[in-house]
Structure formats: C-alpha cells, structure tokens
Chain A
Amino acid sequence: MENIVEVKNLTKEYKKKKAIDDLSFDVYKGEILGFLGPNGSGKSTTINCILALLNFSKGKIKIFGKEMKPNSYDLKKKIGVVFQDVAVFEELTVFENIDYFCGLYIDDKNTRKKYVEDAINLVGLQEFKKYYPKQLSGGLLRRLNIACGISHKPQLIFLDEPTVAVDPQSRNNILDGIKKLRAEGATIVYTTHYMEEVEILCDRVIILDKGKIIASGTNDELKDLANIKERITVETKDLDNNHLNEITQLPEVFEALYEDGILKISYKNEKNNLENVIDYLKSNQIKYRKIYSERPTLNDVFLELTGKELRD
C-alpha cells in the first residue's frame, strides 16, 4: 500500500499545554481515513501541523514521500483543505469564491471553468451561484466551504468537521460528495466527532483522545475492541424483576438493563443470541412491540478505552 501521508512522532505544544502527544500514523492511497475524537482531542491541530501551518516541537511529516514545508508548492498543488471554520470571502458570490480559489491553482481558463462547474455540481449549489455567503443557510455555507477547498481536484483532501451544525439533508449531500471524490481517486482524511459518519464513510479510523491515538483500524477491527459484541433491544411493557433476573442468566449475557419499557441486553459473544431471547419471551408469554439486534458502536469502543462517552 502506498503511503500518501506519513506522520512520525508528531508532538505539538501550545504554550505549556500539550495538544498532540507523539502521534504516528500513515494515510494510504485511495482511502478515507477517519479521525474520530471529542472536542479538544487535537484533530484540527494535527491537520494544521501536517499542512505546515503550525510549528511543532517534534516529529516528521511527509506527504507524497516528500517533507512538507511552507514552501512545498509542488505538494500544495495536490492538496485540498476544508477547514473547520468556514473560510470564504463575504464580499464575493458563491461562483466568485470558488473561481478565486480554483484560480490560484489552475491557470488555464477553460480547465478552470470546468473545474468550478464540477465543484458547484458536486456540492449541489447550482441554484446559488450568484448568492453571497451571507444569503446562504448554514448548511449551504458549509457546502460552499467544501467546494472552495476541492475545486482544483486535489489528490489529497483534508476535511475538518465539514458537517458541524448541518441539517441531515445537507449532511447526506456532503457525505455523498466526499464518496464521489474518493471514487474519482482522491485520498481523504476526514475528522469528526460524529461516530455515525465515520461508520458509514470511513475505511479506516483513528480514535484520538487528549492528543493521543487510543485505537486505530477498520470499523470491524475497532468494534472487536469493545467488551460487548452484540446488543439486543426489546420494547415491552410486561417485564418484572423476576424476568429480568432470568434473562441475565441466559447464555452469554453480559448485562441486562430495563428502563421505561425498554430492555437492553449486552453480549460478550455473538451466538444465537436473538433466537434465545425470542424463545424466552415466547415461553413466558411476554408481548413485545419491537425487537432488534445491533453491533456495538464506536461509542462503546470509546467508552471501553477511555471510560467516558464520546459525546457528552
């Protein structure tokens, strides 16, 4: 596998506060790498260090096999960045903003024209070309922010929480766009604190907490780290303490909780668990409205590794 980005022992301190602590990881060609971590875990700082915007006390960073420096213009040409904070000109329209930033990469007029159109189509801003950023809703503004960062068709794209404060429709649009970019051959680093996004989008995930990598791997690999392997949820009103005790005694059950008409059973293994529960409910003539089984979430993994929830 070709490494597009190599980060070795990256350490960054603000004044006295350590924001990143000895981070090492690689980004592989063609993947979407998720950077998952709560607020303040160091996601943005890591990206800004990789991009040579920030000084750091220790570490080596290579992009496309070359050391990344502020004047690595050949590397910068191939990189696109979507910052966490919207970075567009208030005084320029949607089209002008994209054309401006694209124009700083692409000299040829016709190519640029096409690229700008492509970017507008990708994020679905066709009807808003003449709008000023102020006239856009939060979600549309985020889409513009993305278009500005990727219009020059970069091979490596960093997206720093591009969906913060965005409605579900805009979010889906954005996630679809990112998948399209990958399909076109881009390598993507995606930071977020929404685990759902990571689960549907990313090939590989790095979980960050307090500036340290606490786990990394594919979604499946990470979920193996959680101490539970399956969770079954039953919506029922007819349960008493006796039943609950008996359920806890069923095979492989790790924990059973019953609250507000919802029964949650956690398992350490995946072995006919759903069948066992249904059998039990049937034989005790307990009626239920819904029953479903889930795999553990990344939140469970995070909980397991840090003792706290990913989002509080």
Chain B
Amino acid sequence: MFFKNFKYTFKALLRNRGLVFWTIAFPLIMALFFKMAFSGIEEKETFDAINVAVVSNEYFENDGILKDVFRTLSDPENEDQVFNTSYVEEGEAKELLQDGKIDGYVVFSENAPKVFVTKNGVNQTIFKFVVEEIVQSSDTADIIQAKVEKMFKEQNSGGFWNTLGMIFAMMQENRSNIKDISDANLSYMTIEFYTLVAMACLYGGILGAVSISWCLANMTNVGKRLSLTPVSKIKLVLSSALAGYVIQLFGIVLLLILTIGVLKVDFGNKIPQIVILSVAGSMAGLTMGIAVTTGIKASENAKTGILIGVTMLWCFFAGMMGVVMKYVIDKNIPIINKINPANMITDGFYALYYYDTLDRYMTNIVGLCIFSAIMLAIAIFSLRKQKYESL
C-alpha cells in the first residue's frame, strides 16, 4: 500500500506540467540565463587604472608604508595596476578633480584620511575602499590589488549596488580574517548560483505540499477518498511526501549537474558535502511546503502563491537580487538571516568554498535541520487531525 501510493503519487506529480515546470525546469532555465548574462562580463579581465591624486603633504611623505602601497598599486609595469596616481599639492588636486582629470584625491593626516570626489561612481567607491583598506588593515598591496580586481569584475556583472554590497561583505569578511581571498576567487556569478540552488531547494517543497494535500480530506476531493481507504494516515502522508521529495531531489541533482558539470560554475570540489547540503536544503523546502499547506486556510493556488512568495523573500534576503540586501539584513536585522533557510544554504556553499574546516558548513546543516523540525512540528499540529469541523 505504501508503495502503491508512492508510485501513483510520483506518477501524478511528474505528469503535472505546471508543477514540473516551476520546480524543475524553471531553475534550469534560470541557470542558463544567469550564465548567459554573466559570462561575457566574466571574461573581461583587464582593468583600466583609475586616475587619482594623493596630496603629497608631510604626513604622506613620512609614511613609508603608505607610499609603498600606493606605488605598487600604481605601478604601470604591474598587470593589475589599480591607480594612475599623481602626487600633487592640494590646490592642484582640487583643480584636477574639477577638470575631470582625476576621479578623486586623498589627503592623509594623523586623523582619518579625507577622500574628495565629485561623483559617486564605481571608481570613486573603489578609491575610497582602497584608502580605507590601506589605513585600517594590514593587508599588503598584493591583497588589496586582488580585492580591487574582484570588485571590478563584480561591478561589471552586477552593477553598482552589487559592487557596494560586495565591498561591504568584504569589509566584514576582513574583520574576521579568514583565508587569502586572492586564491579563492569567489565571483559574483557563483554567489548568484548559490542563491539559485537555494531557491530551487525551497521551491521544490511545492511538490511535497501538493502531494500531501492529495491525502487530506479537508483539502482535496481525492483526499476524502484516500482518507477512507484502510491505509493509515501516517503511511499515506509519508509515502506521498516521499514521492514529492524524490522528484525534488532529482530536480536539484539536475540543476547541480547543469551548473557544475556543464556550465562549469566553480562550486569548489567538495561534491559530497554539496550534495548533502542540497538534500538538507530540500528537506527545509519540503517541510516548509507542508507547513504552509496544512497550516494556512486558503485555496491551493493561493497556497502555491504564498510558497513562491516566501521562497523569493528568503532568497531576496539571502542576496539573490544583489548582495547588498544580504548585507543590509545581516547588519540591521541579523535574526532574519539566522532563521532564513535560503541564507543557510547559500552560506553553506560559501563556507564550503572558503573554509578548509567544515565548522561553518555544519552550523548551516544543523540550522537547516532545526528549521525542518520546526516546520514539521507546525505541520503535525494539523496533520494529526483525523476528523474535521467542516470539509
């Protein structure tokens, strides 16, 4: 009976074109779309040095490190030259800026350095960022250079706001110094793909949600019929949910094969852990789907709408439409991303990529398990009902 229900639920789900499209085909199409949108940009590696000026006052001239760093960053021999630096008097710098010959200039002093710009473009942002980096961190010129390089790529692929977001993220990163960023060159595109997989995991919960609604008398007509068979409710619910989950996982595997295998998006090389994270993420999606269908009184379409909405919101907070959102959330309302399954999934991938140890990765796995358990508890509350007030 368990298998009979599993088999036919599986069949019925797979034949539901709308469901299959949204849960399986849509993420695959998005993956292709992302790749197309980002690939041209990713290839452009050259970076035009930014014209800036440093006011050669006494403080600057006496600071060997400062001078050294600026010289390295501005070295025309250097392939990754960041700045085209003029060392001038303050008055001259002002003029250069007004004439548009430079994007900005900086005045160093005992206090915080003052950066002068006239616009707020990407070049200006990078300039400010670098000055801050030089002053605040002990990074060598090489590392700063790598960071700028990366920022440049991201700016090209995601627009100004993404750049800003990345800068924020990197600055945060910096404080808890991890690994040398220059050799783990996590690109903006990869982060987009993390959120895409997260979305697919959560989205896929719709499958389980629909299959569960098929065995509940208060939700569907077939549910009434199934409720009257001599098969226990727990058997029905488990076999139906399993059918949904298997299809969901199948979709995720396809997505991973497409992104990692075909599109060659770099997810790092810890494949088993990547799969485990996807399985846990999908479980979060499944249980969230079940909790929503059983916990909310609304039409089936409304429930699907709610599920999609909630998923998109989680993904939005996790940085799907620009990392700046993630930064803003992390900074101002950190609790949201602590309980955000999409963020746990992306952060899990990120941790796998960045860290050699699995601590942070495990934290996310455990987080997803806790999330799933809570969702399940909510669902069981109404799943346990055997008789209803009305149908």
The yes or no verdict on A and B being binding partners is yes
A104 within 8 A of B: yes
Over the window 216-227 of chain B, the binary record of Cβ atoms lying under 8 Å from chain A Cβ atoms (1 yes, 0 no) is 010011101111
8 Å CB contacts to A: which residues of B1-25? 1, 4-5, 8, 11-13, 15-16
Choose, from B93-101, B228-236, B320-328, the stretch at the interface: B228-236
Residues of chain A within 8 A (CB-CB) of B4 are 100, 103-104
B221 touches A53 (CB 8 A): no
A14 interfacial contact with B, CB 8 Å = yes
Q: Please, which residue of chain A has its CB at the minimum distance from the CB of B226?
A: A104
List residues of B (41-66) whose CB comes within 8 Å of A's CBs: none
A92 in contact with B386 given A53-B217, A100-B4, A105-B230 (CB within 8 Å): no
Residues of A within 8 A of B214 (CB): 89
Among B8, B221, B233, B391, which residue has its beta carbon within 8 angstroms of that of A92? Answer: B8
**Pick from B8, B220, B224, B391: contact of A96, CB under 8 Å:** B8
Q: A54-B389, A73-B232, A105-B230 are in contact. Are A89 and B224 (CB under 8 A)?
A: no
Q: Is the Cβ of B387 less than 8 Å from the Cβ of A55? A: yes
Query: Is A312 among interface residues, defined by CB-CB distance under 8 A?
Result: no
Q: B12, B15, B217, B231: which contacts A104 (Cβ < 8 A)?
A: B231
Quick one: given A89-B12, A103-B1, are A53 and B225 in contact (CB under 8 Å)? Answer: no
Interface status of B390 (Cβ within 8 A of chain A): yes
Instruction: Give the interface segment out of A21-29, A79-87, A164-172, A213-221.
Output: A79-87
Contact A89–B222 (Cβ < 8 Å): yes
**Complex formed: what's the CA distance from A74 to B226 in Å?**
15
Taken together as a complex, chains A and B put the C-alpha atoms of A203 and B224 apart, in Å, by: 28
Q: For the complex, what is the distance from the CA of A85 to the CA of B224, rounded to whole Å? A: 10
CB of A36 within 8 A of chain B? no
Please tell me if the beta carbons of A48 and B225 are within 8 angstroms of each other in the complex.
no
The A interface, classified by DSSP as helix, strand, loop or mixed, is loop
Measured CB to CB, the nearest residue on chain A to B4 is A103
* A83-B15 contact in complex given A53-B391, A103-B1, A104-B230, C-beta closer than 8 Å: no
| A69 CB, min distance to chain B CBs, angstroms | 8
B224 engages A87 (CB within 8 Å): yes
In the complex, A258 has a CB within 8 A of chain B: no
Are A83 and B221 in contact, with the CB atoms below 8 A?
yes
Contact B225 A149 (CB under 8 A): yes
Chain B residue at minimal CB-CB distance from A82? B225
Evaluate whether A53 and B222 lie within 8 angstroms (CB atoms) in the complex, with A73-B232, A89-B8 already known. no
Give the CA-CA distance A76 to B227 in the complex, in Å.
Answer: 10
Whether A104 and B229, one on each chain, are in contact in the complex, defined by CB atoms closer than 8 angstroms, is yes
From 353 to 391 in chain B, residues with beta carbon under 8 angstroms from any chain A beta carbon are 386-391
B390/A76 in contact, CB under 8 A = no
- Contact assessment for A52 and B225 in the assembled complex, using a CB-CB cutoff below 8 Å: no
In chain A, what residue has the closest Cβ to B217?
A: A53
- Considering the chains assembled together, what is the distance between the CA atoms of A49 and B82 in angstroms? 78
| Cβ B12 vs Cβ A91 within 8 A | yes
Shortest CB-to-CB span from A191 to chain B, Å, is 15
Tell me, in angstroms, the Cα distance from A85 to B226 when the chains sit together: 14
Q: Is B388 within 8 A of A53, CB to CB?
A: yes
- Report the Cα distance A309→B338, complex, angstroms: 65
**CA–CA, A92 to B228, complex, Å?**
20
A86–B224 CA distance with the chains assembled, in angstroms: 11
The answer to whether B11 touches A91, judged by C-beta atoms less than 8 angstroms apart, is yes
A91-B12, A92-B11 known; A79 vs B228 contact (CB < 8 Å): yes
Q: Mark B228-262, 1 if CB is under 8 A from A, else 0.
A: 11111100000000000000000000000000000
Given contacts A53-B227, A70-B386, A76-B229, contact A48 B222 (CB under 8 A): no
* A74 CA / B231 CA spacing, docked (Å): 10
- Could you list which residues of chain A lie within 8 angstroms of chain B, going by C-beta atoms? 14, 48, 51-55, 70-71, 73-74, 76-77, 79, 81, 83, 85-92, 96, 100-101, 103-105, 107, 148-149
Given contacts A54-B389, A55-B387, A148-B225, 17 further A-B contacts (CB under 8 A): A14-B389, A48-B391, A70-B386, A71-B386, A77-B230, A83-B221, A87-B220, A89-B8, A89-B222, A90-B16, A91-B13, A96-B8, A96-B11, A104-B229, A104-B231, A105-B230, A107-B1
What are some 28 contacts across the A-B interface (CB < 8 A)?
A14-B389, A14-B390, A53-B217, A53-B227, A53-B387, A53-B388, A54-B388, A54-B389, A54-B390, A55-B388, A70-B387, A73-B232, A77-B230, A79-B228, A81-B224, A81-B228, A83-B221, A87-B220, A87-B222, A87-B225, A89-B214, A89-B222, A91-B11, A91-B15, A92-B11, A103-B1, A103-B4, A104-B230
Chain B interface residues toward A at CB < 8 A: 1, 4-5, 8, 11-13, 15-16, 214, 217, 220-222, 224-233, 386-391
